[in-house]
Amino acid sequence: MAAERLDVPNVTDPGFTVRVVLALARRSLRNALRRPQFLAPLVLFPSMFLAVNVGGLHRTTSLPGFPHVDGFLDFQLAGAITQSLLLGGVATGIATALEIEGGFFDRLVASPIPRTAIVLGRLVATGATAVAQVTYFLLLGLLFGATVKGGIPGVLVVYLIGIVAGVGFGAIGQAIALRAKSASSVQGIFPLVLVVLFVSSAFFPKDLLSSPADIVATYNPLSYIADGMRTPIIDGVGSTSTLEGLAAAVFVVIAAGAIAIVALRGRLRDA
């Protein structure tokens, strides 16, 4: 009796890699929807912070040197999106750490799939979540009177920069989780995330920040990402700030993605 032939997947086949990445992304999204306690803070916390800032600091638009805006909500909207995307990166790290603690990561490593797909699958899910986050805050802003000066092209630019930045933040969260190996350790970076965000121009113009915050904001990629999304909202498309914001987001993706891959390889060596 002839032995049965087993079909062994070709891990070098690009089509197989894409299928694996999409399958892992779908699984990540399903698990996220089953755990609203992880998704809710991505919009609730930035929404409350947005409401407090707009309600208490709306008169700052009259300060000399403040950009011309129709309202403080228009200026703050990009900061709220950036904050939400950063929290999304933390949530990605926590989810990755939980998979490591629960043993799912070890099962993935033992299966015949490309190792990079383990990272890419989660990042695709993070990008899909970023679409929902940007949509939520744009609709929230429009609902309460914000305007997007750049029109439809401006909205598309906000989406582009937001999605790319969200994937980059997710890669940072994954890299930390792969090294920390525990969800509690990843949660510990939350205060650091807020510190990095506050020493940027996400919530206030860089030229009006006091030293040394203005110096730190100049070299903080979050400043360029937030300003890149803000410009289409308060001014229009075509500004240098938009290109700088996209470049900063791409830089975060490349740098964080490389770090995540290195962290994955280190994790595989330790397994």
> What are 100-135's pLDDT values in tens digits?
888 888 888 888 888 888 889 999 999 999 999 999
Q: CB of 261 within 8 A of CB of 182? A: no
> What are 133-151's pLDDT values in tens digits?
999 999 999 999 889 999 9
Long-range contact pairs involving 188-196 (C-beta distance under 8 Å, separation at least 24): 189/90, 189/93, 190/90, 193/86, 193/87, 193/89, 193/90, 196/86, 196/220, 196/222
**pTM value > 0.75:** yes
